[in-house]
């Protein structure tokens, strides 16, 4: 049930589970809990559709040696969250026994809900089984219909829970006897709303989960002790570079899987992955067919015009800081041209059937968890609700860029053996400013078997807080190079089982206590 917070008559809402965030993690969790008979309320800051006022609350700053794309939208405050923006890529996380040691036994616990996560994202299990992954490969799957988790989603329409939109959590809580009893929210019209619940879950995304815990420092620090120092730290992304091209006179059949393929159950595409346990870094290469020749010229002209217009409108004083400048040759057209305009340009490809045998290389590298990659709160630049805005301090290390070089060398040798030519510049791959973010915000409220590096425990419960949980990419202790969507949904299914089991145990204990009291024991 969708409810506009602006229309609520009561200032207090009562439920069993309160979930902050109406994106993929929050809605998946809510539906699973409701199916088990729990009363669930999801609080979403945005509206049913994208709204400028809500998205202004996503204000954020970066200090980084790689480029955060200034014209690329990667966060969305509305029902469905960033699922309204993504391309629908579903990739299973490949856990490595050494590099992903901090996950502990959690991967084994997630195995039980792995297939349910695929089903939630519209990927049939037979489709997954038909696309095996060998060592050094990554397979991306797309369902027939991309799951957006918005008002058109069956997960929302069929779920027996309440989703209240235009409701923003203000990071204030009431507690009693060591447990949180109520969270304070603010509706878009300014009214204060209190939600009372037995369990509270932060499912607001990689940035907001960490920001919210930082804002709750006054109540969390005494509970978490030394573990609070980990909040907002160990942030990661999948920095990427679009660089290099290769050509085949005749494209070999053995590499057809590297092209986009259409199957009965959806689409699939393989990529190449390099794992280096010695350096602790992974890298992933995705090969992209070039646009038709005529369309490529139009893209070049459109980007040139776009840059000239932007320069004239901005003026010298409005340029980004040096670390934030846009690399002139390493961004894709979709990162410089508004999406709606880009898709209209691409539709013109129907008039240009000829394609060259040229391919681009898109490479993603892993950021290993480092405490120096962190979030701080900017009290001097509050948002519309008066809350401090986040600033990310990020650094791409030389070992990650060196791994990209090694991957390109491997790729060059492999392609040469098949009659292809790969052209790239190693210095370009070793220059951090040529890399951009991948819109994958990971870490910040991490789990780890090394408790002194953790924020949540294996149950995704905030350490020292018996009824406060976190779910989403922010709990990842490591990020590898896979798209995080499937693992996020998998974690939501897992957390649902944790809360259901805990709720049943508590109910049984309460019944036993009532029986003992009634019998006079």
pLDDT in tens, 388-401: 999 999 999 999 99
Helix axes 293-314, 339-347, angle to 10 degrees: 160
> pLDDT, tens digit, for every residue of 48-79?
999 999 999 999 999 999 999 865 667 899 99
Instruction: Establish if 261 belongs to a structural domain.
Output: no
As a three-state string, the secondary structure of 180-215 is: EEEEEEEECCCCEEEEECCEEEECCCHHHHHHHHHH
Maximum alpha-carbon separation in the chain:
88
E strand segments, 409-484: 420-423, 468-470
Q: Is the pLDDT of residue 27 over 50?
A: yes
> pLDDT, tens digit, for every residue of 124-157?
999 999 999 999 999 999 998 889 999 889 898 8
Instruction: Establish if 83 belongs to a structural domain.
Output: yes
Q: What percent of the chain has pLDDT over 90?
A: 74
Q: Note the pLDDT of residue 296.
A: 54
Which residue in the block uniquely carries the two structure tokens 């009214």?
A: 191
Instruction: Establish if 179 belongs to a structural domain.
Output: yes
Q: Note the pLDDT of residue 332.
A: 45
Q: Note the pLDDT of residue 295.
A: 52
Q: Note the pLDDT of residue 300.
A: 57
Q: Note the pLDDT of residue 497.
A: 98
Q: Read off φ and ψ for residue 51, nearest 5 degrees.
A: -130, 135
Beta-bridge partner residues of 269: 140
Q: What is the CATH number of the domain that holds 452?
A: 3.50.50.60
> pLDDT, tens digit, for every residue of 353-389?
445 578 889 999 999 999 999 999 999 999 999 999 9
Q: Note the pLDDT of residue 330.
A: 38
Q: Is the pLDDT of residue 299 over 70?
A: no
Q: Is the pLDDT of residue 336 over 90?
A: no
Residue from 174, 144, 166 nearest 79 by CA: 166
Q: Is the pLDDT of residue 25 over 80?
A: yes
CB atoms within 10 A of CB 316: 6
Q: How many domains does the chain divide into?
A: 1
| Residue 197 vs residue 309, higher pLDDT | 197
User: Mean pLDDT of all residues in the chain?
Assistant: 88
What does pTM read for this prediction?
A: 0.89
As a 3-state breakdown, the chain gives helix, strand, coil percent values, each rounded to 5, of: 35, 25, 35
Q: Is the pLDDT of residue 312 over 60?
A: no
Q: Is the pLDDT of residue 219 over 50?
A: yes
Q: Note the pLDDT of residue 339.
A: 43
Instruction: Establish if 109 belongs to a structural domain.
Output: no
Q: Note the pLDDT of residue 513.
A: 56
Asked if 387 and 408 touch (Cβ cutoff 8 Å), the reply is no
Which of 30-44, 66-80, 158-172, 489-503 shows the lowest mean pLDDT across its residues?
A: 66-80
Give alpha helix (H) positions in 66-132.
Answer: 106-110, 114-120, 125-129
Average pLDDT estimate for 162-167: 98
Beta-bridge partner residues of 43: 20, 164
CB atoms within 10 A of CB 100: 19
Instruction: Establish if 383 belongs to a structural domain.
Output: yes
Give the domain extent around 185. 1-93+147-237+369-394+440-520
Q: Note the pLDDT of residue 495.
A: 98
Average pLDDT estimate for 459-477: 98
Instruction: Establish if 51 belongs to a structural domain.
Output: yes
Average pLDDT estimate for 110-130: 97
Q: What percent of the chain has pLDDT over 70?
A: 84
Instruction: Establish if 501 belongs to a structural domain.
Output: yes
Average pLDDT estimate for 159-165: 94
Asked if 428 and 65 touch (Cβ cutoff 8 Å), the reply is no
> pLDDT, tens digit, for every residue of 267-285?
999 999 999 999 899 999 9
Tell me the range of 156-160, 318-322, 450-454 where mean pLDDT is highest. 450-454
Q: Note the pLDDT of residue 325.
A: 33
| Residue 107 vs residue 339, higher pLDDT | 107
Q: Note the pLDDT of residue 188.
A: 96
Instruction: Establish if 102 belongs to a structural domain.
Output: no
Q: Note the pLDDT of residue 308.
A: 58
Q: Note the pLDDT of residue 356.
A: 57
What burial class does residue 313 get, using C-beta atoms within 10 Å of its C-beta: 0-12 exposed, 13-18 middle, 19+ buried? exposed
Tell me the range of 152-166, 283-297, 332-346 where mean pLDDT is highest. 152-166
Average pLDDT estimate for 296-300: 56
């Amino acid at each position: 049930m969708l409810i506009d917070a602006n229309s609520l008559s009561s200032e207090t809402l009562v439920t069993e589970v309160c979930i902050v965030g109406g994106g993929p993690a929050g809605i998946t969790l809510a539906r699973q809990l409701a199916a088990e008979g729990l009363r669930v309320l999801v609080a979403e800051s945005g509206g049913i559709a994208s709204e400028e006022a809500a998205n202004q609350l996503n204000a954020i700053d970066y200090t980084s040696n790689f480029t955060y794309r200034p014209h690329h939208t990667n966060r969305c405050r509305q029902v469905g969250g960033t699922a309204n923006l993504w391309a629908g890529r579903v990739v299973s996380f490949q856990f490595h026994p050494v590099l992903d040691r901090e996950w502990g036994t959690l991967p084994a616990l997630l195995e039980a809900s792995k297939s349910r996560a695929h089903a939630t994202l519209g990927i049939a299990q037979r489709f997954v089984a038909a696309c095996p992954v060998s060592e050094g490969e990554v397979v991306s799957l797309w369902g027939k219909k991309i799951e957006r988790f918005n008002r058109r989603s069956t997960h929302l329409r069929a779920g027996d829970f309440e989703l209240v939109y235009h409701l923003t959590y203000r990071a204030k809580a009431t507690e009693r006897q060591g447990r949180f009893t109520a969270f304070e929210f603010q509706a878009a019209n300014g009214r204060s709303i209190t939600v009372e619940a037995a369990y509270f879950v932060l499912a607001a995304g990689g940035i907001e989960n960490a920001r919210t815990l930082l804002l709750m420092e006054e109540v969390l620090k005494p509970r978490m002790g030394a573990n609070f120092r980990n909040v907002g730290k160990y942030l990661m992304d999948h920095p990427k570079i679009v660089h290099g091209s290769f050509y085949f006179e005749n494209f070999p059949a053995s590499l057809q899987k590297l092209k986009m393929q259409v199957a009965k159950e959806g689409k699939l595409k393989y990529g190449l992955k390099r794992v280096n346990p010695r350096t602790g870094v992974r890298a992933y290469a995705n090969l992209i067919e070039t646009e038709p020749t005529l369309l490529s010229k139009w893209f070049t002209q459109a980007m040139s015009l776009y840059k000239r217009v932007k320069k004239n409108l901005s003026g010298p004083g409005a340029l980004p800081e040096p670390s934030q400048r846009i690399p002139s040759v390493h961004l894709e057209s979709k990162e410089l041209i508004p999406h709606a305009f880009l898709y209209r340009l691409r539709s013109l490809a129907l008039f240009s059937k000829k394609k060259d045998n040229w391919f681009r290389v898109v490479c993603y590298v892993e950021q290993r968890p480092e405490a120096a990659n962190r979030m701080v709160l900017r009290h001097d630049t509050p948002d519309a609700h008066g809350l401090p805005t986040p600033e990310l301090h990020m650094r791409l290390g030389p070992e990650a860029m060196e791994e990209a070089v090694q991957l390109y060398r491997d790729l060059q040798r492999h392609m040469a053996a098949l009659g292809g030519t790969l052209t790239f510049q190693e210095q370009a791959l070793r220059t951090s400013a040529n890399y951009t973010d991948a819109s994958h915000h990971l870490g910040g409220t991490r789990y780890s078997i090394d408790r002194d590096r953790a924020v949540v425990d294996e149950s995704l419960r905030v350490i020292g807080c018996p009824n406060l949980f976190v779910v989403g990419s922010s709990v990842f202790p490591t990020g590898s190079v896979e798209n995080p969507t499937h693992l996020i949904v998998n974690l939501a299914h897992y957390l649902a089982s944790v809360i259901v089991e805990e709720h049943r145990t508590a109910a049984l204990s309460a019944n036993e206590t009532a029986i003992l009291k009634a019998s006079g024991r």
